[in-house]
Chains A and B, each alone.
Chain A
């Protein structure tokens, strides 16, 4: 299987606050601080995390909204960014994104036709745009009447479906889904997910699926990576991730989810209950950034940042001193 996306030691730092000739008060937010992962063709890699985890920054950097501070992002082996941090027009069609909130990701003063025509005209100018628009709507199950509506006339689910259609207009290979169903109701969410899975099969798409909803992740992703304060804590195949969570943060997150059945309740790790606040990304703790909340914290955790190690044979990787001790 080919690697569609290869991310190697990616770092993205933001300077926050005023910095100028007379004021050196700027602070560095390490939104992403050295992560590596890959997305294989046709699979769905889930990225999970809470505020400050950096998962949205990963999405935005991969799609080209930001240039990396260091590290590389390769699409099918080719670097996405040239040495000036710029991207070519052609590379923009290969990776697309669906944002979380369709109310702000669709221009309220445009019609659906305008919204869909723009990428079509840009990347496939030789084809009949009107016909392409109708086909695109058909692909996502929307009737052509919707072309002349404004976004606010659609329901949340419908808007998000249009956002998906827009992403598919450039015929991409990788689609980044940034919390695509978080703003939707549960019954609509199911339809949206089914549509996405359907489209994935039909068009052989790869997905980078970002969400905080672990129950959803369980049923959608092939592999899952969990992030905390800019670093990946654990990556594993979905079933391993949920049945044998290794990292204490993974366990804390799993134990915090509200579930609706006793069977699920039984699955939740009982040893790690949620506690403590998430530190601000401006003030990341030294050593392992999870040490302020971890029930298994030891001296070394306060001083040394653990590295990612392999656990088991399924590509299950975890970054925690509990497991790197074995190597020492």
Chain B
């Protein structure tokens, strides 16, 4: 098998959900990759399919009602969708680790921090003979890495005794304790206060850069994307509409949706409130023909209603799925 320069490669992934009335076409043939050591953002609004994609990567979608009619997800060259339970267990938590949006829900309130963190470490070491002493030491180190003071006392505490920021740090510590190569962070600061979020995100960036971990940041916050990622994918209604390096994305967004999204973010410098993007997200049971964004697009052309645009290369590392750029490619 040829050595891929990418730690994660998603090709032509489609995910549907069976419901009353038919199938919801939630993820519609997407391509997505992450290079080793890269920090990639996946930006989109509610219902765009980013959470479903993330769950597909870890292969934790409930099947039924979820169905994956086609597509491959390669993690270091192996297709996750075709792995058996043993292989999956080795990937989950060790190869790929996750930080959830709500740290309160991610931590079990009836177990102490030591029990939960210890369980993760024991699992990653993979040896039953490891003494409690070594696991305890590693737990202390894990907590120190996330800048939590007094780790010994913290290990004995319970999640309810910690603040939101501390819980999120514990979750980050747990996610990184196994030394994963790919970290998926789902809205990592959203449930935190702004001043705490700022500290947690700075810490996270420092840690992943130190360990050269690849990261996927899933978020709806463009500000966080700009601060934390090297490259960003924009997702709308199950499609990837644009991908570019973060700098290029903000300097020169091309897709009408991306442009609309960036324009609707209120600015600290003032300037009033933009008018938003007309229309609403499509019905996934009967999505629009052709480009899924066409009913809301101010630059819509006839071809947009009939065919789905493919990803046109604008230059290295900047692609956009829009017929407006067909000639430029």
Contact = CB atoms under 8 A, between A and B. Distances in A.
A132 B232 CA distance: 47
B66 interface: no
A245 to B, nearest CB: 11
Contact of A186 (B47, B220, B227, B280): B220
Nearest to A195: B276
Contact of B250 (A51, A213, A214, A260): A260
Contacts of A263: 267, 269
A312 interface: no
B300 interface: no
Contacts of B264: 186-187, 189-190
A274 B199 contact: yes
A264 to B, nearest CB: 4
Given A277-B196, A278-B193, A259 B223 contact: yes
Nearest to B276: A190
B266 A187 contact: no
Contact of B265 (A215, A252, A254, A255): A215
A215 B266 contact: yes
A264 B269 CA distance: 6
A167 B276 CA distance: 23
A156 B269 CA distance: 28
A51 B267 contact: no
Contacts of B267: 215, 218-219, 259-261, 263-264
Nearest to B149: A277
Contacts of B274: 190
B266 A278 contact: no
A220 B270 CA distance: 9
A305 to B, nearest CB: 21
B160 to A, nearest CB: 12
A51 B273 contact: no
Interface in A98-157: 155-157
A195 to B, nearest CB: 10
Contact of B226 (A156, A190, A213, A260): A260
Interface in A156-175: 156-158
Given A190-B276, A220-B273, A260 B193 contact: no
Interface residues of B, number: 42
B262 A260 contact: yes
A187 B194 contact: no
B2 interface: no
Interface in B141-191: 163-166
A77 B253 CA distance: 52
Contacts of A190: 264, 273-277
B88 interface: no
A209 to B, nearest CB: 12
B272 interface: yes
Interface string B219-234: 0111110110000000
A219 B223 CA distance: 17
A264 B46 CA distance: 26
Given A187-B276, A258-B223, A259-B223, A213 B268 contact: no
User: Which of B165, B226, B261, B265 neighbours the largest number of chain A CB atoms within 10 Å of its CB?
Assistant: B265
Contacts of A194: 273, 275-276
A211 to B, nearest CB: 10
A242 B268 contact: yes
A321 interface: no
Contacts of B223: 257-260
B184 to A, nearest CB: 19
B209 interface: no
User: Which of B266, B268, B274, B280 neighbours the largest number of chain A CB atoms within 10 Å of its CB?
Assistant: B268
A157 B9 CA distance: 34
B81 interface: no
Contact of B195 (A216, A218, A256, A261): A256
Interface of A: 50-51, 155-158, 185-191, 193-194, 197, 212-216, 218-220, 239, 242, 252-261, 263-264, 267-268, 273-275, 277-278, 280
Interface of B: 45-47, 163-166, 193-199, 201, 220-224, 226-227, 250, 260-262, 264-277, 280-281
20 contacts: A156-B46, A186-B220, A186-B261, A214-B194, A215-B265, A218-B266, A218-B267, A252-B195, A256-B194, A258-B201, A258-B224, A260-B222, A261-B269, A263-B267, A263-B269, A264-B267, A264-B268, A267-B269, A268-B268, A278-B195
Given A186-B261, A264-B268, A264-B269, 18 more contacts: A50-B194, A51-B164, A186-B45, A189-B264, A190-B273, A190-B275, A190-B277, A193-B273, A215-B265, A218-B270, A256-B194, A256-B197, A258-B227, A260-B222, A260-B223, A261-B269, A274-B195, A278-B163
- 3 nearest CB pairs, A to B: A258-B223, A190-B276, A256-B198
